[in-house]
Amino acid sequence: MAKPAILWFRQDLRLADNPALAALEGRPLLPVYFLEEGPEAPGGAARWWLHHSLAALGRALAARGAPLLLLRGDARQVLPALAAEIGAEEVHAGRRTEPLARRRDAETHAALQDAGVRLVLHRTALLHEPHLVRTGGGKPYSVYTPFARAVFGLLEELPPPLPAPDRLVPASGARQGLGLDSLHLLPRPPEPNWAADFPAHWTPGEEGAAARLDAFLEQGLAGYADRRNDPAAERGTSGLSPHLHLGEVSPRQVWHAAKAKGGRGLETFLKELLWREFSHHLLWHRPEMPEAPLRPEFAAFPWRPDAALLRAWQRGRTGYPIVDAGMRQLWRIGWMHNRVRMIAASFLVKHLLQPWQDGEAWFRDTLVDADIAANSASWQWVAGCGADAAPYFRIFNPVLQGEKFDAAGAYVRRWCPELARLPDRWIHRPHEAPEMVLRGAGVTLGRNYPAPVMGLSEGRAAALAAFAAVKGTEAA
């Protein structure tokens, strides 16, 4: 009989289209998940999702005969010991791109090698290996459009997804694992239950991911090119990002399913999948991206850290309705519409001149889809300091952005209900509304809705001056 092996789950919490699992077909295996703490550990909202995703994965594995072993600790120490316990000579896992995970993988490989065990890494989370996509000159890409064009070509012969196994052969001799609750992934008293509204919006796990994908293909893909910028639209976006982040569905499954469905929104949607690939490509080649600007001149940017301004932004109390609606949506359901993410992020780093790292850290803690690569790449894009970044002088006006993308105010009325009775004309600019209109709508600025924390002209002028100083330093 074949030697048993360890299947190390990480950001691939699924059974279908899992190359690491498929490589062990017919062999006795021990499925295991380690909760590792550290700088790149999941934030609060992602931990809520992880709890329920692990529960779903555990049920699926148990139903096929190989229960999931849950442990807390350092894989560099625990994996060699586990391999010895069950007589395994191989550990199979998905490859990760985060800098700390890559360092740990190298050290884990060395520790396993010393124990006579082989670590085999598979591509489980991306469409293509980030280190293999190169320009004609052999360099990594730093601009999205040529990257996407190159990857589109590489994916012409993307193999079909792999099926989930019907049965698994369990390895014997492993230690007793931890109960899921003992990982303490959920909010616990006296901490408030900030995740109370999450279950009404999300169904973590492989089945939930499949249902979300099916619903989007049927109801959202055809109109995706137009509706993806409407934050109030039902099925305007796919909602797949948290499922993709923890690998409950593979990007290959999504790619093939979308192409099979087809329709007018297909190309736009596939390009969004490739932005995710581009973010991981950048992170692989620029591991400093989560902390440091990719454009070195921005290390001297004259930020104006202000705890009160940061707090007002975090809590959706800036006085600009489209920003506040987005930040409140984020707090309530652990997710924010992508268009509003850009508006809210631009307001923080440009009008308020708060460091982009503070915004990135808040999103990392409050987003259920908090992917280090996509989060840091997107924040650097908005701040103007990243690869293929938005021009430094592109400063979103939150009032005009609200009027453009939420013209009837449906999104703002949902997440800022104190403004619900304002007429459409004033829903995005309550600070400019006549007093009689405010009174008629039950709005008292500074009491039940905040006055603006910063004037838009003032904030824009300060941002342009700060960026000009950086550009002057670059020229010098």
Active site residues per annotation:
272, 275, 303, 338, 356, 379
Chain centroid to CA 445: how far? 34
Provide the b/e sequence for 458-476 (b: ≥16 CB within 10 Å).
ebbebbeebbeebeeeeee
Q: Among candidates 61, 115, 121, which has minimal Cα distance to 91?
A: 121
What is the sign of the dihedral through the CA atoms of 249, 252, 253 and 254?
A: positive
Do residues 158 and 250 lie in contact, with contact meaning Cβ atoms separated by under 8 Å? no
Start-to-end Cα distance in the chain: 69
Question: 372 CB contacts (<8 Å, ≥6 apart)?
Answer: 40, 98, 283, 290, 364
Cβ burial, residue 103 (10 Å; 0-12/13-18/19+): exposed
Backbone angles phi and psi of 286, in degrees to 5: -130, 75
